[in-house]
Structure 1
C-alpha cells in the first residue's frame, strides 16, 4: 500500500505466542492491514515490526503503541511468557514513529472500552440494583486467557486513566476444603498458589488434573478438549473442572469488584473468557460472584460483560494514541 508519511499509527498486541500488528487512522483500525506473526519465528519485537512495515509498503508512521502481556514500568516491558526485550526505544527505532507508547495488554483493553461496536460486547450477568450508574462510572477489565490480569478504567474528565496491575499473581482465594486442596496442588508448579495458576488456559488443565488425582484416576487434557467435552456433555470430569473454574472466576471477580467498585461494569476479555461466556450462568459464576455475605445485595450493582472482539487491544492502543494527541 502507498501512504503519505506521518498520517497513520502503528498498533501491536504482543502475546506469549503471537503478535498482531495493524495500522490505524485515528481510533479506527484498518482491517486490511492486520497481520499476525508467530513469535517463535522472530528473535525479537523489532524484527517483527520491521517485517510488518515492509509488508505494508515501507509505511512511515506518525505514532506507535504496543500492548504487552506482562508488567510495564518506565516504558520497558517484561514479558511473562516470552524472552523479548521491549521498550519505547526499540519501538521507535523499528517504526520511525515520533510518539511511542508501551502499555500492558489489559491497559490497552481498558482504553478500547467505548470504542468497540455494540455487537462486540455481550452481557453475561446483568445488574440487579435499581440505581443507574452515573456517566463515566469506573469500569474494570479482566483478562482470562494464557494468563490472568485485571485493570480498572477511570474517566478523569481530561483523559482516561487505566492503571497497570499484575493481580493474576495474587493469592488464590480459599472458601472450602476442596479449594484448599486445589491451592496445594497448583502451588507445586511455582511454590505459590496464584490466581493465574487456576484462572487461565493452563489453569483449567491443572484443575482437570487435580480432579483426576482426587478421584484416583489421573489424566491430562488440553483446555480446548476440556471445554469441547464440557459443551458436548461427554465427560463428567470436564464438566466438573469447568464448574470449579467458573466458580473460582466468580469469586475472584467479586473480590475485584469490591476492591475497585466498577459501577460502570466488568468486562471479561481473552480467549478463555470467550469460551466460558455461554456457560457461566449454568456453572455457578453468578452465585459465586454474589456470595459476599451481608454484601450479597450490594453485588447487584455490577454487571458483567464479555468482549468478543479479538482485536480490541489494537483498538485500545489506537484510542490511547488519540488521547495523547499523537494520532
Structure 2
C-alpha cells in the first residue's frame, strides 16, 4: 500500500470490534478504538461512527471477522452480523475492499509481528523464507490455517478446522468424548480445544472423580492448579495433551517447516504450562514419525493487534498487485 493511502481496518470478535487506521503495513496504534458489538446493529454502523469521529475518508478497507468467509462475504458465527464488500463500500466509500476470516488475518500478520510479541515454545530446524507456516487460534473457539508465501505474495486459505472430528487415542479420551457428546451432538475439536472446552474437561474430571465442584470458569480452574489442586492439574494436562495432538495432526497435513504460531486468549493463558503438561508428548505421538515432528518450531503470539496488522498487510499486497 502506498504510504499516501489511508486504510480503515476492523477486527470483529464475538463481543467487541476493534477499528484502526493504517498507512501501508503499519497500524496506527493511537487510532485503535474498541466497540461493544451489542451496542450496534452491524459493522456498517461501527465504521460509520468511527470514520465520522476520525474525520477520515479512507481509500481502502479490510475487515477480519470471526466466522466463515466465502467470496468476500460471511456472517459471524456468534453474532447476527453480515459482512460483505457492499456494506464496507457504503460505510467507508473506499474503492479497495477485503473481507477475511479472523484467522486468515492473523496468518497475513506473520513476519510483521514484533519480536517482543513472539515467544518460542519449542525449537525446530531452520527453513527457507518460503516455507509454509501454520497459524492455530485457540480462544472462544478454535481454528487453524496454513500460510503460504509465493514470491512476494501471501496466501492464507480459509478454514473451519475447529469443527473437524477429534481424533481419540486412549480410553480416557474416549470417555471424555462420550461425556461431551451427551450434551453436544456431533462434538468437534472446538468443543474440547477452547475456553469452554477447557471448562468441559474440568467438569468431566469432576464426574470421573465423583466431585461436585463443577461449573468453574477457566480462570478459577487455572487458579486452583496454581494452588496445587490435583483435579485442576489433570484437566490442564488433558487439555495440553489434546492441544499437542491436534497441532501435530495439522502439522502433518500442512508441513509448516516455517513454524507453528499459536494465537488466542486461551493459548496465551496456557502458554506457560504447555511444555510441562503434555503438549510435546501429544505433538510427538505419531509413532515412527515422532522424530519427524521435531522439525517444526512452535511459537506463541502475544500481540493483541495482530489481526489488524494482518488486514493492513493483506491490503498492501492487493494494492501492489493492481498497481
TM bracket (short chain):
over 0.9
Which consecutive residues of structure 1, in runs of 5 or more, have no partner in the other structure?
A: 1-5
1:226 maps to what in 2? 221
Which stretch shows the higher mean deviation, 23-32 or 214-223?
214-223
Q: Deviations over 1:149-206 (max 9, x none)?
A: 0010001114111001101000011011111111112223430120000100111111
Aligned to 1:240: 234
Matches within 5 A, 1:1-327: 7-56=5-54, 58-127=55-124, 129=125, 132-218=126-212, 219-230=214-225, 232-325=226-319
- TM-score, with structure 2 as normaliser: 0.95
- Structure 1 residue ranges (4+ consecutive) displaced by more than 3 angstroms after TM superposition: none
**Preserved CA contact (<8 Å) 1:184 1:193:** no
1:3 is matched with which residue? none
Q: Does the CA contact (< 8 Å) of 2:5 and 2:24 recur in 1?
A: no
Shift of 1:258: 0.3
| Aligned partners of 1:111 and 1:317 also within 8 Å | yes
Structure 2 residue ranges without an equivalent (≥5): none
Give the number of aligned pairs: 317
- Output the CA distance in 2 between the equivalents of 1:106 and 1:7: 25
Q: Distance in 2 between matches of 1:59 and 1:227?
A: 44
| Inter-partner Cα distance in structure 1 for 2:183 and 2:259 | 33
Cα distance in 2 for partners of 1:141, 1:171 equals 19
Structure 1 residue 225, shift from structure 2 partner = 1.6
Deviation of 1:21 after TM superposition, in Å, equals 0.7
TM-score, scaled to structure 1: 0.94
Deviation at 1:26, TM superposition (A): 0.6
In the aligned structure 2, how far is the partner of 1:141 from the partner of 1:72? 17
| CA shift digits 1:304-326 (9 cap, x unpaired) | 00111011000000000000017
